[in-house]
Amino acid sequence: MTLTIAGLTATEVLDSRGRPTLAVTLRLPDGRSVRAGVPSGASTGSREAVELRDGDPRRYAGKGVVNAVGNVNAEIADLLRGREFPDLASVDRALIEADGTDTKARLGANAIVGVSMAAARAFALLADRPLWRYLAPAGVTPRLPVPHFNVVNGGAHAPNRLDFQEFMIAPLGAPDLAEAVRAGAEVYAALRRRLADKGFATGLGDEGGFAPEIDAPEDVLTTLVDAITDAGYTPGHHGVAIALDPAASEFYRDGSYHVAGESLSTGDMIARYEAIVNRFPVWSIEDGLAEGDWDGWVELTARLGGRAQLVGDDLLVTNPAIVAEGIDRKAATAALIKVNQIGTVTETLETMRLCREAGWAQMVSHRSGETEDTFIADLAVGTGCGQLKTGAPARGERVAKYNRLIEIEAGSDLPYGRA
């Protein structure tokens, strides 16, 4: 099976934050077409693949993507149109070689990843397979992932004083995906009621979670445990657990971590996480320390790696070379997986392969700026990683991914749960 690209076009559209991004359409010789929407992050690692933004202050405060769109419509389309590609890796290799930079900065990672995602969909269409089955690596059993619902937003995702960026609920004890989604929606509704009863505003952050004016992360965790109980579930691994993404790089300044008015050393921050894990049903902590604090990550992993999943996001940026370094140094026990963070689907799958072989977990993730595209839901299922986070059970661009998982479950007999 080979892919011949008859046409390739991109359009500047809006993401869920009202900022520009790309939609890429790939047309096959028989007239069929596929489309990919490109996500965009707010809290980004310094070593991520580089989005190409126009920098024109007269349009979208400099955030426009007309140049990235132009690169798809001209140089990339000219490069790929009419050629026969035996597999997705050959498409991605052509894109990487044409860009010629380590960070995909010339053509733009946002342009490249949109084409890569569209090409993956085209191969799935030609093979007459659902996308998740096409993306499944050889020897890997696809599986429906445990959804991680971001129900309280802080940090770069919300205009409040809360330093930790994401508080998630994870229905680890649900018997299947549909029941996990139900648990997420019911706890989310119970949390809204509890916050309102306490006099907090129930406005939403970028990813659909509530954004109350609460300073201390421990106060949020107490409220979450209460909401889980209110909804009729048991807090913990056999019911509904809690996952954190503090995004510590965002509150690390001058060698210290600044949380709720306190200035903490690396050791202090690790001790705080240890106290949190002792007190609350927190099963996973993502980006607990800053991306440059490698020695701290090693200490954190030694201290808590046997009790909680420790996920590297800004630390690892879905980059195979950096993930290999993290594995070698025993810094973290899992990697967050964001396709646009590295820039091609092939490199994303390679990162996930390295994790599997090292015994590391993986959690596929959305970005704060999303589209209605459901690619990551299929990616999580096909790779069998067992974990997906894509925001609250609210807002169309987030719910679309959860609904896609429900559709996959309804049409298959795939297992559910963590790998």
Give every CB contact of residue 293 below 8 A, 6+ residues apart in sequence: 248, 252, 266
Give every CB contact of residue 263 below 8 A, 6+ residues apart in sequence: 256, 257
218 is in an annotated binding site: no
166 is in an annotated binding site: yes
**Angle 68-341-397 (CA atoms, 0-180°, nearest 5)?**
80
Catalytic residue among 48, 186, 207, 409: 207
262 is in an annotated binding site: no
- Residue 151: name the closest of 397, 326, 398, 338 by CA: 398
245 is in an annotated binding site: yes
Taking CA atoms, 100 is separated from 17, 54, 316, 368, in Å, by 31, 20, 22, 28
313 is in an annotated binding site: yes
Respond yes or no: is residue 207 known to be catalytic: yes
Q: At 52, which helix (H) or strand (E)?
A: none
237 is in an annotated binding site: no
Q: 5: which DSSP letter?
A: B
40 is in an annotated binding site: no
For 311, the token pair is: 């996920």
157 is in an annotated binding site: yes
Catalytic residue among 63, 338, 350, 401: 338
Query: Residue 239 in contact with residue 228, Cβ under 8 Å?
Result: yes
286 is in an annotated binding site: yes
Phi, psi of 384 (to 5 degrees): 65, 25
Query: Residue 86 in contact with residue 2, Cβ under 8 Å?
Result: yes
314 is in an annotated binding site: no
For 313, the token pair is: 């996001």
Q: How far is CA 209 from the centre of its chain?
A: 15
Query: Residue 190 in contact with residue 230, Cβ under 8 Å?
Result: yes
The residue length of the chain stands at: 419
Respond yes or no: is residue 338 known to be catalytic: yes
Position 324, amino acid = A
Q: How many CB atoms lie within 10 A of CB 17?
A: 17
Binding residues for Mg(2+) are 245, 286, 313
Catalytic residues: 207, 338
Q: Which residues are annotated as a binding site for (2R)-2-phosphoglycerate?
A: 165, 338, 367-368, 389
Q: Binding-site residues for substrate, please?
A: 157, 166, 286, 313, 365-368, 389
Residues belonging to the binding site are 157, 165-166, 245, 286, 313, 338, 365-368, 389
